[in-house]
Amino acid sequence: MTIPAYLRAVLLALLSALLLILSFPRFDFEFLAWIALVPLFVALKDKSLKWAFALSFLMGISFLMGVFYWINVISGFKWNDFLILGIYLGSYFGIFGLGLNFIRQRTNLHYSFAAPFLWVSMEYLRSHAGFLGLPWALLGHSQYLNLAVIQVASITGVYGVTFLIVLVNATMGGIIQNPAASLKPAMVTLFIVGISVSYGFVVMGKDSPQKEFRVSVVQGNIPQRLKWDPEWRKRNLEKHIGLTKEVTSKTSTSLVVWSEASVPGALSQDLYLLNTLSNLAKETGGHLLLGSSVHPKFGSREFRQKNWFNSAFLVSPQRGVAGQYMKIHLLPFSEYLPYRDAFPWPERWASAGGDFIPGKEYTIFDVDGAKFGVVICWENIFPDLVRQFVKKGASFMINITNEGWFGETSAPQQFLAMTVFRAVENRRSIARSANTGISGFIDPYGRILAKVEDHNRKDIFVEGHVTADVPLFDGKTFYTMYGDVWAYINLIATTMMLALSLRRPRHDVP
């Protein structure tokens, strides 16, 4: 391969990365995702396995570092941490390119029959890699505004949407390289995409549920630098109380939701906080869902004083604290340090790991017969965790979070995009209260019903509240019942293709 050919391949890989970045929030040119991988597939043609890995790795690390740029605004996060993260995540894409060319060199499989299964497999593995599991910037997430396409997620999860995108890209890449050999794959692609989109339109055309439940979400917009300042804690609490009184004076609402850690201190263990918020619930005549922390009740004195549960509390006008959910999926290197006693983490990382411990119960709250579950912060990006609440009877979901860490970046929009998929996967409305935004409501079909916005339509770093009647669903989708069956099918198909490839010698492919 000549030097210009090497350079051309590198530029094509970088072009794919750029197109993918533009397809995600905040750019939201979602149509670009359907052609974004074509340059990469062209670049991979006839490349050695080493070059296939290198080009795909380059595309992956460029794409993800472009999407994850916002992580650099977090206090204490260093450029070398960002590089390590990029190398780790980029390696999944490198393995995809290596595996794809390995299969292509040893079988007659067309790109469109190999690439989608392999890509979905790598996304699933990246999402379930223990404490390093990160189901963020999955290809399907780019389509959160493309409602007809994403309805298939109620069967396949987000991986089904990813499959469709890669299928279209691989088919077009094959057509460019060998039109004659791509006729049948193109027909199969049109059929699969057509069936999926038709399913989406049919589902969205069905009648909405008759039952609704009125919820208000409050966005306090507390600056991160002041959130834990002792001199500001009372003022921050008073701001939330004022917003709650304001919204309840304007409309009747059954539940007012505050964001993650909106109540400073241990709510159930602080008599002042408990009385203040119980009286607020009585005064407004509705329930409050509040984010706070609490020490464990059991264990040694040292254990109880050192550790915390990141929690959501339901405060009733009649009974005070009526329920508590303790966050199950903690954030590594922030709320806890993975394998703290077994692995010699650098001191800087070790000191950043918090003293939170995970809860174990998928708590279902009940307000006037409306049952709901709560996920805290990044728990909402894990589809299997959310569906457990729905399996246990939640008719809608609430996500409380604090995204003030990320400044005015695209991180809140990316969180919102993933929240849309949690709604579609389980056919459940989702109410979202974020300290600095984005707060609002998503219906069971992924439509964004309302957001907290100012007069300029700005939805982050503004304070306010919004109320909506959220539709209540009681049925369970295929995805809710059976989870990532589609991803498992892709893993099995990938394993079979690799096994077949190992048994065959290399040969030229069309």
Residues identified as active-site = 260, 327, 377
Enter the DSSP assignment of 378.
G
What dihedral angle (degrees, nearest 10) is formed by the CA atoms of 461, 466, 469, 475? Answer: 20
Cα 124 to chain centroid distance, Å, stands at 13
**For residue 126, cis peptide bond before it (omega within 30 degrees of 0):** no
Asked if 162 and 140 count as a contact pair (C-beta separation under 8 A), the reply is yes
The answer, yes or no, to whether the previous bond of 438 is cis (omega within 30 of 0) is: yes
Evaluate whether 123 touches 161 at the Cβ level (below 8 Å). Answer: no
* Cα separation, 415 vs 404, whole angstroms: 13
In contact, 148 and 141? CB cutoff 8 Å: no
User: For the chain, what's the residue count?
Assistant: 510
What the block records as the tokens of 372 is 């709901």
Q: How far apart are the first and last CA of the chain?
A: 19
Please return the burial class of 207, using the count of CB atoms within 10 Å of its CB with bins 0-12, 13-18 and 19+: exposed
Q: Is residue 494 a contact partner of residue 118, using CB atoms and an 8 Å limit?
A: yes
Residue pointed to by tokens 């980029």? 90
Is the Cβ–Cβ distance between 443 and 449 less than 8 Å? yes
Helix, coil or strand: residue 450: strand
- What CA–CA distance (Å, rounded) separates 278 from 275? 5
Say how far apart CA 121 and CA 489 lie, in whole Å: 9
Going along 334-463, which residue ranges are E strands?
A: 365-367, 370-376, 396-401, 429-434, 440-442, 448-451
Structure tokens at 223: 């600056």
Instruction: Provide the greatest CA pair distance for the chain.
Output: 78
